């Protein structure tokens, strides 16, 4: 595979309350050479600011790998917006001391069980633990690390500010994150069924118009 000149797409989708179907709520096609472009991080912050303006802070923001960055937490934590972020590996504070997430995860074998079918139809038998931690930059902000083993060679690590007296909160957090695959399927459907990446137009404005039209068409198609 060869990389060539192209455009970036920043997109956010929400799941409906009843049927958990994905609905696109923000989409922006942009170029790194267009006037006003600052960085990909800035484009991500634009999408977060849009969510802050149109959705309450209690709506959970779920992030996949690659978004476990300081600027994400610098935005979410002061605004007290609910989040679940898939982590790679970084230092956290556990019982007042710094420790790498993967090192901490090895100490826990999973207190709770979760069985389900993956998006590929395979059966998963997971063991889940929840551990109170905090970030070095926010030592006084209580967070929870959810450690889910059984989905791959490495445990699934989810950092969240969600809290509850329910001992099985970690199962709920894991389920919420795993529902992201529905959103991934939406973007896959949009690309493959409508050939979004194969359209030939002459301007960035035209691409943005196509993106809008296809987002509408995808929603209508999936409802029928």
Q: What's phi and psi for 59, nearest 5 deg?
A: -65, 130
Q: What is the mean pLDDT of residues 14-23?
A: 84
Domain of 169 in residue numbering reads as 59-178
d(CA 206, CA 203): 5
Check whether 195 has a pLDDT greater than 90: no
Given a contact cutoff of 8 angstroms between Cβ atoms, the answer to whether 128 and 147 are in contact is yes
Q: If you average pLDDT over residues 102-113, what whole number do you get?
A: 91
Pairing of strands 61-63, 83-86: parallel
Q: Which residue has the higher pLDDT, 138 or 15?
A: 138
Please check the confidence at residue 224 and state whether its pLDDT lies above 70: no
In 31-137, where do the E strands start and end?
Answer: 61-63, 83-86, 91-94, 97-100, 112-117, 123-135
DSSP 163: -
Interval 56-79 mean pLDDT? 95
pLDDT in tens, 22-34: 888 999 999 998 8
Mean pLDDT value across residues 48-68: 95
- 193 and 130 in a common domain: no
Q: What is the pLDDT of residue 39?
A: 95
Is the pLDDT at 150 greater than 80? The verdict is: yes
76: left (phi over 0), alpha (psi -120 to 50) or beta: alpha
- The average confidence (pLDDT) of the chain is 88
- Structural domain count of the chain: 2
Residues 76 and 119 reside in one and the same domain: yes
Q: Which range has highest mean pLDDT (49-53, 62-66, 118-122, 202-206)?
A: 49-53
Measured distance CA(142)–CA(92) in Å, rounded: 11
Instruction: Please check whether residues 107 and 198 belong to one and the same domain.
Output: no
Q: Indicate if 103 and 16 belong to the same structural domain.
A: no
For residues 66 and 27, membership in a common domain is answered with no
For residue 77, what pLDDT is reported?
98
Instruction: Write down the pLDDT at residue 151.
Output: 81
Q: How confident is the model at residue 40 (pLDDT cuts 50, 70, 90)?
A: very high
- pLDDT of 97: 96
Residues 114 and 205 in one domain: no
């Amino acid at each position: 595979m060869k990389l060539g000149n192209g455009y970036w797409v920043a997109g956010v989708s929400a799941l409906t309350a009843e049927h958990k179907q994905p609905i696109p709520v923000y989409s922006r096609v942009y170029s790194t050479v267009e006037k006003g472009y600052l960085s990909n991080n800035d484009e991500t912050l634009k999408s977060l600011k849009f969510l802050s303006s149109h959705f309450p802070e209690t709506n959970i923001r779920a992030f996949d790998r690659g978004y476990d960055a300081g600027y994400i937490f610098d935005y979410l934590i002061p605004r007290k917006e609910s989040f679940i972020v898939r982590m790679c590996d970084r230092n956290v504070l556990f019982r007042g001391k710094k420790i790498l997430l993967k090192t901490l995860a090895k100490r826990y074998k999973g207190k709770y069980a979760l069985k389900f079918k993956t998006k590929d139809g395979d059966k998963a038998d997971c063991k889940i633990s929840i551990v109170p931690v905090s970030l070095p930059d926010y030592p006084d902000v209580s967070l929870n690390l959810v450690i889910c083993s059984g989905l791959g060679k490495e445990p699934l690590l989810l950092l969240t500010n969600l809290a509850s007296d329910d001992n099985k909160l970690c199962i709920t957090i894991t389920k919420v994150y795993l529902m992201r695959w529905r959103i991934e399927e939406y973007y896959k459907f949009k690309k493959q069924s409508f050939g979004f990446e194969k359209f030939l137009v002459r301007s960035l404005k035209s691409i943005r118009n196509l993106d809008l039209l296809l987002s509408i068409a995808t929603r209508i198609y999936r409802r029928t």
